[in-house]
């Protein structure tokens, strides 16, 4: 292990990164709260400010992936579509098999200049996660309870609010609805069988209602669907803890741009279209597993310095007072104050560890895990 790698694996480094993320994140959440009165005066100004504030948080995680772990993200796509990325609104459909797939998605958002305004259809539970979840309220992220009876109205309403969004955005949709596990796969294939649909080898059966409602409500607002398939080389199983430890991964993303006009308007036809898309995606995965690459040319946009500069800014701002505080604490000699500070740091570490836990598949939800009574077609 080289010296740099040894340094990256040190717990103290992880503590520093997490401290900067947590404290800056809470400060930014507070600033976001202060923009509330502005929404009444100028909604568009408030939205623009919030995209910048949101960028200050999410780009720290992107910086950890790009600059700290040095993970390589390669993009396979055709050059004609490439020119449009970042210059139009789009719905991104992505496979959901990896703990850091959202982070790789964010990396591409960063490289195409849409990180601050990026959106997702996220499970409601994530809205309670400090920093990220709280930031999402102000970025008008669409939350769902994964209960269609309740979601059908709220999701449609939140999507309609995006119709006059002042900046280009990508709206991410994990149609599988949950992370891939062998058990969830087996159950969803039973559902596929009961519906007379072909089996998928590498994906869960997509949930079609969220896709349909998104396409319907964003018609006229977004120009295309970016069908995206992500994989990691050499069967890597990347984790956020791995990224924090400076582990380098190799992500390959295959993106096809599909103009929105090609997607059927009627719910049943739209659902059938999505099932066909997932069968194609399954084929791309299989092709990747066999050849180690996707079809088409590589058009990888380079990393930009802004995420790193943002992190350095917050690190300088927050580490200096921390060092002063530590020096005062030690020189004070008060055992009680020292113990209280250690307890506070431990609580913060446990908090961040819990946040990281939200990304771990082993601690994932039971959604899609329950056998459903099957009605045969």
Ligand X SMILES: CC/C=C\C/C=C\C/C=C\C/C=C\C/C=C\C/C=C\CCC(=O)SCCNC(=O)CCNC(=O)[C@H](O)C(C)(C)COP(=O)(O)OP(=O)(O)OC[C@H]1O[C@@H](n2cnc3c(N)ncnc32)[C@H](O)[C@@H]1OP(=O)(O)O
Q: How far is the CB of 150 from ligand X (least distance, A)?
A: 8
Binding residues among 115-144 for ligand NKO as defined by CB under 6 A: 123, 126, 129, 132
Binding residues among 354-373 for ligand X as defined by CB under 6 A: 368, 372
Buried residues in 130-141 as b, exposed as e (16+ CB within 10 A): ebbbbbbebbbb
Going by C-alpha positions, the residue among 217, 187, 209 that lies closest to residue 200 is: 187
Beta strands 90-94; 72-76: pairing state = unpaired
Q: Is 56 in the site for ligand NKO (CB under 6 A)?
A: no
Q: Is 60 in the site for ligand NKO (CB under 6 A)?
A: yes
Please report, for residues 135, 348, 355, the alpha-carbon distance to residue 128 in angstroms, rounded to integers and kept in the order given. Answer: 10, 16, 10
Given ligand X, ligand NKO, none, residue 222, with its beta carbon under 5 to 8 Å by kind, binds: none
Element housing 49 (H / E): helix 43-63
Q: Tokens representing 193? A: 């069988």
Q: How far is the CB of 84 from ligand NKO (least distance, A)?
A: 27
Binding residues among 83-122 for ligand NKO as defined by CB under 6 A: 102
Among the listed residues 144, 200, 215, 243, the single contact to ligand X using CB under 6 A: 144
Among the listed residues 76, 85, 138, 311, the single contact to ligand X using CB under 6 A: 85
CA distance 229 to 253: 6
Beta strands 170-173; 119-123: pairing state = parallel
Given ligand X, ligand NKO, none, residue 364, with its beta carbon under 5 to 8 Å by kind, binds: ligand NKO
Among the listed residues 8, 17, 197, 307, the single contact to ligand NKO using CB under 6 A: 17
- 3-class state of residue 231 by DSSP: strand
Please, what sign has the CA dihedral across residues 97, 99, 102, 108? negative
Residue nearest to ligand X (CB): 210
Per the listing, tokens 């964010």 go with 106
Site string for ligand X, 100-139 (x = CB under 6 A): --x--xx-xx--------x-xxxx--x-------------
Q: CA angle 192-207-94, nearest 5°?
A: 110
Per CB under 6 A, the segment of 6-14, 43-51, 143-151, 342-350 that binds ligand X is 143-151
Please report, to the nearest 10 degrees, the dihedral formed by the alpha carbons of residues 368, 371, 372, 373 taken in order. 170
- Assess contact for 49 and 304: CB atoms under 8 A: no
Q: Is 226 in the site for ligand X (CB under 6 A)?
A: yes
Widest distance between CA atoms in the chain: 75
Q: How far is the CB of 205 from ligand NKO (least distance, A)?
A: 14
Among the listed residues 76, 143, 170, 174, the single contact to ligand NKO using CB under 6 A: 174
- Of 38 and 84, which CB lies nearer to ligand X in the complex structure? 84
Q: How far is the CB of 353 from ligand X (least distance, A)?
A: 18
Among the listed residues 68, 134, 138, 170, the single contact to ligand X using CB under 6 A: 170
Listing DSSP states for 272-328 in one string gives: HHHHHHHHHHHHHHHHHHHHSS-SS-B-PPPP-SHHHHHHHHHHHHHHHHHHHHHHH
Q: Is 358 in the site for ligand NKO (CB under 6 A)?
A: yes
Q: Tokens representing 136? A: 């999402």
Where do the H-state alpha helices sit in 129-266?
132-138, 148-161, 182-194, 209-218, 240-244
Per CB under 6 A, the segment of 27-35, 172-180, 228-236, 313-321 that binds ligand NKO is 172-180
- Of 173 and 244, which CB lies nearer to ligand X in the complex structure? 173
Q: Is 369 in the site for ligand NKO (CB under 6 A)?
A: no
Residue nearest to ligand NKO (CB): 364
Among the listed residues 53, 61, 155, 253, the single contact to ligand NKO using CB under 6 A: 61
Please report, for residues 77, 79, 80, 211, the alpha-carbon distance to residue 83 in angstroms, rounded to integers and kept in the order given. Answer: 10, 7, 6, 25
Query: Applying CB under 6 A, which residues contact ligand NKO?
Result: 17-18, 21, 60-61, 64, 102, 123, 126, 129, 132, 174, 178-179, 352, 355-356, 358-359, 364-365, 367
Binding site residues, ligand X, CB under 6 A: 85, 92, 94, 102, 105-106, 108-109, 118, 120-123, 126, 144, 146-148, 151, 170, 172-175, 177, 187-188, 191, 204-205, 207, 209-211, 226, 228, 255, 368, 372
């Amino acid at each position: 292990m080289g010296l740099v790698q040894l340094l990256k694996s040190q717990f103290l480094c992880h503590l520093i990164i997490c401290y900067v993320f947590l404290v800056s994140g809470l400060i930014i959440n507070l600033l976001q709260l202060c923009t509330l009165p502005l929404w009444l005066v100028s909604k568009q100004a408030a939205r623009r400010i919030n995209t910048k504030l949101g960028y200050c948080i999410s780009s720290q995680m992107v910086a950890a992936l790009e600059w700290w772990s040095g993970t390589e993200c390669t993009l396979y796509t055709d050059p004609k579509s490439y020119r449009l990325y970042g210059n139009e609104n789009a719905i991104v459909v992505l496979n959901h098999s990896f703990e850091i797939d959202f982070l790789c998605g964010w990396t591409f958002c960063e490289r195409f200049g849409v990180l601050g305004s990026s959106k997702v259809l996220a499970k409601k539970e994530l809205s309670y996660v400090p920093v990220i979840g709280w930031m999402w309220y102000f970025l008008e992220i669409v939350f769902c309870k994964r209960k269609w009876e309740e979601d059908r109205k709220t999701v449609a309403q939140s999507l309609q609010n995006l119709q006059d969004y002042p900046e280009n955005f990508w709206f991410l949709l994990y149609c599988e609805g949950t992370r891939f596990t062998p058990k969830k796969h087996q159950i969803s294939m039973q559902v596929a069988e009961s519906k007379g649909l072909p089996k998928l080898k590498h994906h869960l059966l997509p949930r079609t209602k969220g896709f349909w409602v998104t396409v319907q409500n964003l018609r006229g607002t977004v120009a295309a669907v970016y069908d995206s398939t992500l994989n990691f080389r050499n069967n890597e199983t990347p984790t956020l803890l791995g990224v924090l430890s400076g582990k380098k991964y190799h992500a390959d993303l295959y993106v096809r741009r599909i103009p929105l006009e090609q997607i059927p308007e009627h719910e049943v036809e739209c659902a059938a279209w999505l099932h066909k898309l997932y069968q194609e995606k399954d084929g791309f995965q299989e092709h990747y597993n066999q050849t180690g690459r996707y079809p088409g040319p590589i058009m990888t946009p380079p990393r930009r310095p802004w995420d790193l500069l943002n992190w350095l800014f917050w690190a300088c701002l927050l580490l200096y007072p921390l060092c002063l505080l530590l020096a005062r604490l030690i020189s004070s000699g008060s055992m009680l104050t020292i113990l209280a500070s250690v307890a506070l740091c431990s609580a913060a570490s446990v908090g961040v560890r819990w946040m990281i836990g939200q990304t771990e598949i082993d601690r994932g939800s039971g959604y899609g895990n329950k056998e459903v009574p099957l009605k045969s077609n």
